[in-house]
């Protein structure tokens, strides 16, 4: 380095010194240490939710090429699994617009929003989904209670999740205990999300309104100030019985999911 440049450099910095061979050395500055926690959120169109062992991973494997672990014990899935749903071939050239990514999440249990089971960590993965699919083991002792538990956990984590369009799959109908109660379950689940709300009409007469939750905006202020219960959120777009393991009702289920995705697209267009 020419002498004049070296002088200039030394004048500019207090951290400059020379070694024996007259080389200019610039002293290092103290470094900075940072520890970063990066939070990953998967981007999927459809989120599969349900209690452990309901058959979420089996469903993902039935509809996509994903190969998630499937086993007869709870909490088989510890991290979300993703699978790609092919576009609907009936749509011809529009086929690709009907492709979707499905996320199979770990099972939820009561108290998950407080950290029980696998906790609330994976619930964030639902944030960017457009459609939810509730997977219920219809052969379980009390499937309605299981369904309510999952909805309640979603509500406690983020009430917006209950506003999201959803389809309910009553799984394991190959088992006689599920098959027998299927019609009653479909009826009961379709009803939840459709509270019969007494409202005061403008004339002051009391009437009963059994419409979609959004009608609640009409309800008196006192009613509105109360915390929303799961009955006050939208009804399912569809409730279907299936056995994803034995491939019974899978095409009907797929049609319900595709129709749900179309509804989401229409809703998104309407908002734009």
Ligand X SMILES: Nc1nc2c(ncn2[C@@H]2O[C@H](COP(=O)(O)OP(=O)(O)OP(=O)(O)O)[C@@H](O)[C@H]2O)c(=O)[nH]1
Residues that bind ligand X (CB under 6 A): 50, 52-58, 70-72, 74-77, 106-107, 171-172, 174-175, 243-246
Backbone angles phi, psi at 91, to 5 degrees: -85, 0
Q: Which does 171 bind (CB under 5 to 8 A by kind): Mg ion, ligand X, none?
A: ligand X
Partner whose footprint covers residue 64, from Mg ion, ligand X, none (CB < 5 to 8 Å by kind): none
Which residue in 108, 252, 233, 107 sits closest to 182, CA to CA? Answer: 252
In this complex, which beta carbon is closest to ligand X, that of residue 106 or of residue 143?
106
Nearer to Mg ion, 135 or 154 (CB): 135
Kindly state the smallest distance separating residue 76's Cβ from ligand X, in Å: 4
Nearest distance in Å: CB 225, ligand X? 36
Tokens found for residue 251: 């095409």
Report in angstroms how near the CB of residue 262 gets to Mg ion at its nearest: 27
- Assess contact for 46 and 103: CB atoms under 8 A: yes
How far apart are CB 246 and ligand X at their closest, in Å?
6
Q: Are 47 and 130 in contact (CB under 8 A)?
A: no
- Taken as a whole, the chain contains a residue count of 272
Between 66 and 144, CB nearer to ligand X: 66
Our CB check for ligand X shows the closer of 52 and 87 to be 52
Residue with Cβ nearer ligand X (53 or 197): 53
Q: Which does 243 bind (CB under 5 to 8 A by kind): ligand X, Mg ion, none?
A: ligand X
Nearest CA among 24, 19, 22 for reference residue 8: 24
Binding marks (x or -) toward Mg ion, 53..82, rule CB under 5 A? ----x------------------xx-----
* 132 vs 230 by CB, closer to Mg ion: 132
Q: Which helix (H) or strand (E) holds 100?
A: strand 100-104
Pair type for strands 131-137 and 81-85: unpaired
Alpha helices, DSSP H, located in the chain: 3-12, 56-63, 143-157, 176-191, 221-225, 250-271
Distance CA(216)–CA(37), nearest Å, equals: 41
Q: How far is the CB of 86 from Mg ion (least distance, A)?
A: 21
> Smallest gap, in angstroms, from Cβ of residue 57 to ligand X?
3
Grouping H, G, I as helix, E, B as strand and the rest as coil, residue 228 is coil
Provide the strand spans (E) within 125-227. Answer: 131-137, 166-171, 197-200, 206-209
Q: Is 171 in the site for Mg ion (CB under 5 A)?
A: no
User: Residues in the site for Mg ion, rule: CB under 5 A?
Assistant: 57, 76-77
């Amino acid at each position: 380095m020419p002498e004049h440049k070296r002088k200039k450099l030394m004048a500019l910095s207090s951290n400059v010194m020379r070694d024996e061979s007259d080389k200019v050395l610039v002293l290092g500055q103290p470094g900075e240490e940072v520890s970063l926690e990066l939070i990953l959120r998967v981007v999927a169109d459809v989120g599969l939710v349900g209690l452990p062992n309901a058959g979420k991973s089996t469903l993902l494997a039935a509809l996509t090429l994903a190969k998630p672990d499937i086993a007869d014990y709870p909490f088989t899935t510890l991290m979300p699994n993703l699978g790609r749903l092919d576009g609907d071939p009936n749509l011809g050239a529009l086929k690709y617009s009907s492709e979707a990514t499905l996320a199979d999440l770990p099972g939820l249990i009561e108290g998950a929003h407080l950290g029980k089971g696998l906790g609330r960590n994976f619930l964030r993965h639902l944030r960017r989904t457009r459609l939810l699919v509730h997977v219920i083991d219809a052969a379980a002792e009390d499937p309605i209670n299981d369904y309510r538990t999952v909805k309640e956990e979603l509500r406690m984590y983020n009430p917006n999740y209950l506003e999201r369009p959803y389809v309910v799959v009553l799984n394991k109908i190959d088992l006689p205990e599920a098959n027998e109660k299927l019609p009653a379950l479909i009826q009961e689940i379709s009803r939840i999300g459709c509270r019969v709300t007494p409202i005061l009409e403008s004339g002051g007469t009391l009437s009963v309104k059994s419409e979609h939750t959004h009608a609640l905006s009409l309800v008196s202020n006192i009613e509105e100030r109360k915390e929303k219960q799961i009955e006050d959120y939208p009804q399912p777009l569809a409730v279907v019985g299936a056995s994803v393991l034995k491939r019974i009702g899978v095409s009907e289920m797929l049609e319900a999911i595709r129709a749900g995705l179309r509804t989401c697209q229409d809703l998104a267009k309407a908002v734009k």
